[in-house]
Amino acid sequence: MLVGEALIKEQFMEYLKMKENESKPEIDLLTCTEEKTDDEIKEQLFGLIGDFIEHYGYCKVDTEHCKPRDLLGDQYYKLCNLDSEIVLVPFTTEKEDDVLFNYSLQLCHWYLHLLEMNDTAKEGDLNRVILNCQYSLPFFFSHSALSKYMVENIDYILKCQHFLSPLQRIRVLEGSFTNCRGEIGKNVESDLVQEHSVCHQKQLIKSLGANKTEQSISRVTRSADAINEICTNFDNSILLKPKSGRHAKVVTEADQTRMYKELRKLRPFHHTPGRACDGFNKIGHVPLKCNDFPKLNLRIDQVVKRLTRGFTIELEDEDDVEDNDNLENLPAI
């Protein structure tokens, strides 16, 4: 997440044509702000952000115009015969591929999507849940055509948008998040809370040793949450810090500044044809290329038809798919 944040800042630096943090932007949208009101400056700032999103092709994974402007080359004209008339038609040539640019831009796509999902979970925003599920489909499909997470997202969308009643739909959406602390912006995913509960139960079951009977397991799992709360309060009273799955050492400002300086030297978003990136020679600038969307649509149609017919397991003709390339010869259900 820290690297993604640094890349977004570097992306803005490149977009605003700034050499350093202290230098002034050279873009026209930020000029002559002294004589404008606060509302005009706010509107100008939103216009700048919108143009930034348009420039790098964000939120356009399902269109043919998702390429950033930096990937487009010079514009030329060619003679065409239209309606028995010779006219000049403009066309744009693509630049030579820059693998480092593609890798950095795709990493930004993943980072912003994860940031959006984290914010949706913390706020418990029910209006963005379905949108996030829909936007996640190309990401999961780019990883694997048989991604079980993509199927779960499609199933969630079908139930909330078509199959469930309005009351059941609200119950499902509200049940997707829970607030264990009661504070604003402190919601977490219900699945994550369940995973933690299962982890606590497994620890207590292991502590039983050889005395594992059905009755003892049932008794100890029922009291798992209460035992965990008692242990947590005891650790807090003796100032014992809990073990964290994240980095225990916080990244210092000096390290962050050094990372920003290195990115400034590298300039990953300054399109330079011919640059390579070890291990990612065939990576694109977006998670899913435009020519792969027919395969994605075919896969979604298969999953939707299977789920609407009540089949929760993969069918035989779906099991034959091992990667995205095999979807071309896959018959529709």
Percent of the chain with pLDDT over 70: 79
Cβ-proximal residues to 63 (8 Å cutoff; 6+ apart), any chain: 290
| Gap between the Cα atoms of 94 and 76, Å rounded | 11
SS3 content of the chain, % helix, strand, coil (to 5): 55, 10, 35
Residue 255 per-residue DSSP state:
H
| Gap between the Cα atoms of 278 and 104, Å rounded | 13
Read off the amino acid at residue 75.
Q
Q: Which of 307, 314, 292, 15 is nearest to 141 (CA)?
A: 292
Report the range out of 17-26, 188-197, 279-288 with the highest average pLDDT: 188-197
| Angle 157-53-98 from CA coordinates, rounded to 5° | 105
Cβ-proximal residues to 176 (8 Å cutoff; 6+ apart), any chain: 129, 189, 190
Residues 86-135: tens digit of each pLDDT: 555 454 445 567 888 888 988 998 999 999 999 999 999 999 999 999 98
Q: Is 46 helix (H, G, I), strand (E, B) or coil?
A: helix
The pLDDT of residue 80 is 52
Q: Is 72 helix (H, G, I), strand (E, B) or coil?
A: strand
- Compute how many other C-beta atoms are within 10 angstroms of the C-beta atom of residue 319: 10
CB 303 within 8 A of CB 151: yes
E strand segments, the chain: 72-82, 85-94, 177-178, 188-189
| Gap between the Cα atoms of 325 and 145, Å rounded | 9
Residues 231-251: tens digit of each pLDDT: 888 888 888 877 766 656 677
State phi, psi for 276 to the nearest 5 degrees: -115, 165
The pLDDT of residue 176 is 92
Residue 21 per-residue DSSP state:
T
Question: Which pTM does this prediction carry?
Answer: 0.75
Report the range out of 23-32, 74-83, 95-104, 131-140 with the highest average pLDDT: 131-140
The pLDDT of residue 154 is 93
The pLDDT of residue 117 is 92
Beta bridge partners of 177: 189
Q: Is 60 exceeded by the pLDDT of residue 325? A: no
Residues 22-60: b if buried by 16+ CB within 10 A, e if exposed: eeeeeeeeeeeeeeeeeeeeeeeeeebeeebeeebbbeb
Beta bridge partners of 72: 94
